[in-house]
Amino acid sequence: MSDEVEFSLTVDGTAHQVTARWSESLLTVLRDRLGVRGPKTGCAHGRCGACAVRADLGDGEPHVLCACLVPAATAAGGIVDTIASIGGPDGELSDVQEAFLAEGAVQCGICTAGFVTAATELLADNPDPSRTEIEQALYGNLCRCTGYGRIVAAVETAARTRREATR
Amino acid sequence: MTSGVGSSLRRPDGPAKVRGEFSYAGDLAAEGMLVGGTLRSPHPHARITRIDPTAARALPGVHAVLTADDVPGDLHFGLTLRDEPVLADGVVRYAGEPVAVVAAVDAATARRALRAIVVDYQPLPALTDPEAARDAPPLHPDGNVYRHVSYSCGDPDARGVVTVENTYRIGMQDPAFLAPEAGLAWPTADGGVALDVATQWLHSDQRQIGWATGLPPEKVHVRLAGVGGAFGGREDVTLQVHACLLALATGRPVKVEYTREESFLAHRQRHPGAIWLRHSADADGRIVSVEGRVLLDGGAYASTSPVVITNTVTLLQGPYRVDNGRFEGWSVRTNNPSCGAMRGFGVPQAAFAHESQLDALAAALGLDPLEIRLRNALQRGDVATFGQRFDAPTPVREVIEGVAAIPLPEGPARKAPGGVGRSAEGGAIRRGVGYAVTIKNLAFSEGHVDESTAEVSLCDGHATVHTACAEVGQGFVTVAEQVARTVLGATTVEVTQPDTLIASAGSTSASRQTMASGTAVHRACVAVRDRLLARVARAHGLDAAGLTVADGVVCAAGRPLTTVAEAAPGQTIRATEHFQHPDTHPLGSPEARMYVGFGFSAQRAVVDVDVELGLVSVVQIASCQDVGTVINPTQLLGQIEGGIVQGMGLALMEEVVVADGLISNPDFQDYLIPTIVDAPEIVSTYVTDPEPGMPHGWKGVGEPPLCTAVPVVAAAVRAATGLPLPAVPIKPEHIALGIGAAPTVTWTTPRPAAPDRASGVVVDEEPQDALGTMAEEGASPGH
């Protein structure tokens, strides 16, 4: 068996032909082979969420996962949306991104892409999450700067803004 | 003005960060770049009998393999004592010490090269007990004691009616910033080297790179790359020198990026320590005397150990008036991981111990924990045990009263103790409420020069601000923009990337950058504004003294004359200004001024504890902090909340476990930092009493919340369990099994202080010169 594998991968709407080692993670492929730097390397063992992306690995059910834990080859033919796919329709910030800025949920920012990705999925599924539901959706993401208070506030603000906008 | 000082102006780097487009050090890349790797000692103490890089050098794709023999300049570096080899020099003194570095075409080739380096070690006994190390044969030519301090004040043998004593232990905490160390170095056309790196202190890196490479400072160009958190852990050099050596050796750009495990091994941790304290008080709970002894484990190399120890020892008194005392401490060398700066810089250790003692005194006397603290609260004009007069606002009573006024949480607990990993079944859950109050020195201390320089330019209402102050996430970029908007009336502001083209701003640490670099920016803005007004005055034939700037408008005698943007079309007005705090002096100096200033903080914690499983949920922490002036309410809250949760981590879960010199949990699987589930509700209030001598009366705010959170969480868990809990982190087994000795309480015959000894500080033993090489060159730490 060759130590490399070739496969197709759609990232943020762009189709790529990827050649990677079998042992390479999806995170390594995104960052080092495709130059997609939105997902960050915090721990590379699935404990911090800085590399969170929304991925459809072929089963038609996209969900947020740690790119560092996915062997890239298992994503063959898959669709990956990173933080670069999150934003308003005309390129402006999404309501979640806007709320993260307004509430001070960003300090060093290395965790931010992961939090915004996870919070965006949460609000897509649950427009009015309780504090407990927010915690359940985000406990896989670590933040060392904020103490999480402003992040919870940002998610609550984004949810409220969206409910008011669609009322 | 909605964007000036006092507003919650948004971070200027925020939009890029929420889009995932902000460039961090780990994102750096360059054409033709090589990847660096580091071979680390697996032994905590060993003699290197042979290093053979021949096979590694012969591998295809390997461009350089460097050992100590290949360091062109001085082999040794360090923030204070300069005792640490850039690459191991015949002996390794901790597990993880760099032995060789490689540069190769890619990461896999670099890893192969590291495996191909032959190193023969002759293991030596590892000295990992700091108590034993103090008197053991030296592990290093510089000896095993980084610094010993000892002093007394008043009559240390004075006694009240009750005396309590205990020994408190603090575990090793990792800064655990989320972006591991990374940097990119390349050779420059002037024969020098450039480095883009995530750091806290560009000029310190520049100096230490210069030592090892043999290059003069002007040929070492350091520029800040995007920093993913720091908390003290990026104050020391880790990969900076290695990356530059590799770039110079290969003639190519070289990127070095650590894994999470390497990050644990490579950067300095918070000092673990043991603190013995004896407090004696009268029947009203007033402190009569305090005696304390501190032993901090500094690990294998000095880093800032000689500075940290005086923080711990001198602040054992807490935010309380102590007229009689005897204090002593050592920071020592062992074969454990090196310890250095982490947010709080020796004070969380002291705070945990003195606050535990205050509660023990209150319990012995049947006093309310707030009441005993109020009765002993420092006031402006009091004199510290180390001789310094508190000559600025000292609002200890105010922060205590402020926290007491915050309502307790109501209703049933929302979650069971145990966090993500384990939720208690319920049944044996008890609630506890605890209080803590702390003092934290702000800025560099003991004669270490605390200064910064800012260059500000203004053209058509657009201001550009340049300093060497490292933005590590804390929000200095926002503060600088707010100052430029307020003082200059600028409509747009750019805060440029810090580099070594401008003079040093010192380290982003010690809660000091708003005070130092913020003040330098303020001064430069004032100078630019005054030059602008002079031009406007000339053009209009007016007296400049009658002109002012407010909200972007230049006014003459209060009437709008022109806008800042239109006042001097096309002209760039520029000013560079320097700020330096008044001098400080070493402990025991006749000037009796060790510290620039102080911040005070009071907190109350409410916890739920499953007393059978030993699990804790922190329900709420209420905080009242002395902050000088609120510059940016949102960013201030971020500092308070972030600091509290880091302190809570040290109190309950975070510990670098070191067994026989080896870290057994160098990953986030086993080193637990608080998650969103662990984080409590935080209620934050402030005492705003402007700091004299500072623009807007601002002062540092970043460290006090952490210092207070450690003892306050411990106090609440004690209140819930009735256990003494003299060690942090408080582990489940400490609670479930009741581990830890209670304070010894002795009822004593009161003996008033002898009048002939009742004044002045006596330094019992001349402290060694701990200021080290950096102080001589005018920039050394001391937080």
Q: Do A135 and B475 touch (CB under 8 A)?
A: no
- Sheet strand arrangement including B46-52: B91-92, B46-52, B118-123
Identify the residue among A107, A116, A130 best suited for mutation to test binding to B, counting B beta carbons within 10 A and taking the highest: A107
Identify the residue among A145, A148, A156 best suited for mutation to test binding to B, counting B beta carbons within 10 A and taking the highest: A145
How far is it, in rounded angstroms, from Cα B780 to Cα B445? 9
- A14 with A51, same domain? yes
Q: Would you say residue A46 lies in a domain?
A: yes
Cβ-based contacts of B682 with chain A (< 8 Å): 147, 149
- A44 with A113, same domain? no
Rounded-to-10 torsion of CA B608, B429, B348, B392: 40
Helix (H, G, I), strand (E, B) or coil at A156: helix
Cβ-based contacts of B674 with chain A (< 8 Å): 147-148
- A69 with A126, same domain? no
Cβ-based contacts of A148 with chain B (< 8 Å): 641, 645, 674-676, 679
Distances from the Cα of B57 to the Cα of B37, B46, B60, B100, angstroms: 13, 24, 8, 12
How distant is the alpha carbon of residue A50 from its chain centre?
A: 8
Of A37, A144, A152, the CB nearest to B178: A144
Residue B590: count other Cβ atoms within 10 Å of its Cβ: 8
Rg (CA), chain A: 16
Q: Would you say residue A54 lies in a domain?
A: yes
Q: What mean pLDDT do residues A132-152 have? A: 97
Q: Do A104 and B634 touch (CB under 8 A)?
A: yes
Q: Give the gap in angstroms from C-alpha B125 to the nearest C-alpha of chain A.
A: 32
| pLDDT beyond 60 at A119 | yes
Whether the CB-CB separation of B779 and B506 falls below 8 Å is answered with yes
Q: Give the gap in angstroms from C-alpha B363 to the nearest C-alpha of chain A.
A: 32
Asked if this assembly's ipTM is beyond 0.95, the reply is yes
Domain final position from A29, A63, A85:
A85
Cβ-based contacts of A149 with chain B (< 8 Å): 637, 641, 679, 681-682
- A116 with A77, same domain? no
How far is it, in rounded angstroms, from Cα B204 to Cα B219? 14
Q: Which residues is B290 bridged to in the sheet?
A: B279, B325
Q: Would you say residue A90 lies in a domain?
A: no
How distant is the alpha carbon of residue B47 from its chain centre?
A: 33
Domain that holds residue A49: 4-85
- Beta carbons within 8 Å of B302's beta carbon, 6+ residues apart: B78, B79, B80, B81, B82, B83, B84, B142, B146, B333, B772
- A42 with A114, same domain? no
Identify the residue among B2, B9, B18 best suited for mutation to test binding to A, counting A beta carbons within 10 A and taking the highest: B18
| pLDDT beyond 50 at B758 | yes
Determine what percent of chain B is predicted with pLDDT higher than 70: 96
Q: Give the gap in angstroms from C-alpha B687 to the nearest C-alpha of chain A.
A: 21
Q: Give the gap in angstroms from C-alpha A79 to the nearest C-alpha of chain B.
A: 19
Q: Which residues is B726 bridged to in the sheet?
A: none
Determine what percent of chain A is predicted with pLDDT higher than 70: 99
Cβ-based contacts of A102 with chain B (< 8 Å): 10
Residue B23's closest chain A neighbor by CA? A37
Query: B622: part of which helix (H) or strand (E)?
Result: strand B615-626
- Over residues B108-124, the pLDDT tens digits come to 999 999 999 999 999 99
Q: Do A101 and B229 touch (CB under 8 A)?
A: no
- Beta carbons within 8 Å of A90's beta carbon, 6+ residues apart: none
Query: A151: part of which helix (H) or strand (E)?
Result: helix A149-166
Q: What mean pLDDT do residues A13-29 have? A: 96
Cβ-based contacts of B472 with chain A (< 8 Å): 108
Distances from the Cα of A32 to the Cα of A11, A78, B347, B657, B661, angstroms: 14, 18, 42, 33, 35
At B427 the pLDDT is 73
Q: Give the gap in angstroms from C-alpha B17 to the nearest C-alpha of chain A.
A: 6
Question: Angle at Cα B86 formed by Cα B81 and Cα B88, nearest 5°?
Answer: 105
What residue type is assigned to position A20 of the chain? Answer: A
Structure-token pair, residue B354: 């003195």
Q: What mean pLDDT do residues B467-473 have? A: 98
Identify the residue among B21, B178, B672 best suited for mutation to test binding to A, counting A beta carbons within 10 A and taking the highest: B178
Q: What mean pLDDT do residues B771-775 have? A: 37
Q: Would you say residue A146 lies in a domain?
A: yes
Q: What mean pLDDT do residues A128-145 have? A: 97
CATH number at residue A147: 1.10.150.120
Domain final position from A31, A58, A85:
A85
Q: Do B178 and A142 touch (CB under 8 A)?
A: yes
- A16 with A56, same domain? yes
What residue type is assigned to position B326 of the chain? Answer: R
Of A87, A104, A131, the CB nearest to B637: A104
Determine what percent of chain B is predicted with pLDDT higher than 90: 93
- Over residues B479-531, the pLDDT tens digits come to 999 999 999 999 999 999 999 999 999 999 999 999 999 999 999 999 999 99
- Over residues B357-380, the pLDDT tens digits come to 999 999 999 999 999 999 999 999
- A80 with A8, same domain? yes
Of B20, B415, B667, the CB nearest to A113: B20
Q: What mean pLDDT do residues B42-61 have? A: 98
Closest to B48 in 3D by CA, of B157, B123, B127, B128: B123
**Unique residue bearing structure tokens 């390349």:** B186
Number of domains in chain A: 2
Q: What mean pLDDT do residues B597-620 have? A: 96
- A79 with A108, same domain? no
Whether the CB-CB separation of B730 and B170 falls below 8 Å is answered with no
Cβ-based contacts of A21 with chain B (< 8 Å): 108
| Helix residue ranges, H only, B215-346 | 240-250, 260-266, 305-314
Identify the residue among B7, B11, B19, B200 best suited for mutation to test binding to A, counting A beta carbons within 10 A and taking the highest: B19
Which domains can be identified in chain B, with CATH numbers? 25-125+178-229+234-266 (3.90.1170.50), 273-446+585-767 (3.30.365.10), 451-580 (3.30.365.10)
Of B472, B638, B643, the CB nearest to A104: B638
| pLDDT beyond 80 at B745 | yes
Q: What mean pLDDT do residues B448-456 have? A: 97
- A101 with A155, same domain? yes
Identify the residue among A106, A120, A141, A142 best suited for mutation to test binding to B, counting B beta carbons within 10 A and taking the highest: A106
Of B20, B228, B676, the CB nearest to A148: B676
- A105 with A80, same domain? no
How distant is the alpha carbon of residue B329 from its chain centre?
A: 20
- A65 with A103, same domain? no
Q: Would you say residue A99 lies in a domain?
A: yes
- Over residues B530-585, the pLDDT tens digits come to 999 999 999 999 999 999 999 999 999 889 999 999 999 999 999 999 999 999 99
Q: Do A145 and B17 touch (CB under 8 A)?
A: no
Q: Give the gap in angstroms from C-alpha B560 to the nearest C-alpha of chain A.
A: 32
- Over residues B202-259, the pLDDT tens digits come to 999 999 999 999 999 999 999 999 999 999 999 999 999 999 999 999 999 999 999 9
Q: Give the gap in angstroms from C-alpha B13 to the nearest C-alpha of chain A.
A: 9
Domain final position from A42, A63, A85:
A85
Residue B638's closest chain A neighbor by CA? A146
Whether the CB-CB separation of B85 and B92 falls below 8 Å is answered with no
Q: Give the gap in angstroms from C-alpha B110 to the nearest C-alpha of chain A.
A: 15
Q: How many helices (H) and strands (E) does chain A have?
A: 5, 5
- A30 with A50, same domain? yes
How far is it, in rounded angstroms, from Cα B380 to Cα B311? 20
Q: Do B473 and A108 touch (CB under 8 A)?
A: yes
Q: What mean pLDDT do residues B394-422 have? A: 89
Of A38, A100, A144, the CB nearest to B229: A144
At B418 the pLDDT is 80
**What's the whole-number average pLDDT of chain A?**
96
CATH number at residue A46: 3.10.20.30
How far is it, in rounded angstroms, from Cα A114 to Cα A141? 7
Burial class of B104 by CB neighbour count within 10 A (0 to 12, 13 to 18, 19+):
buried
How far is it, in rounded angstroms, from Cα B548 to Cα B524? 16
Cβ-based contacts of A135 with chain B (< 8 Å): 415, 676-677
Residue B639's closest chain A neighbor by CA? A146
How far is it, in rounded angstroms, from Cα B262 to Cα B241? 16
**First-to-last C-alpha distance (Å) of chain A:** 57
**What's the whole-number average pLDDT of chain B?**
95
At B771 the pLDDT is 39
Q: Do B11 and A141 touch (CB under 8 A)?
A: no
Closest to B698 in 3D by CA, of B452, B555, B519, B531: B519
Of B11, B27, B230, the CB nearest to A106: B11
Of B420, B473, B681, the CB nearest to A107: B473
Q: Do A93 and B18 touch (CB under 8 A)?
A: yes
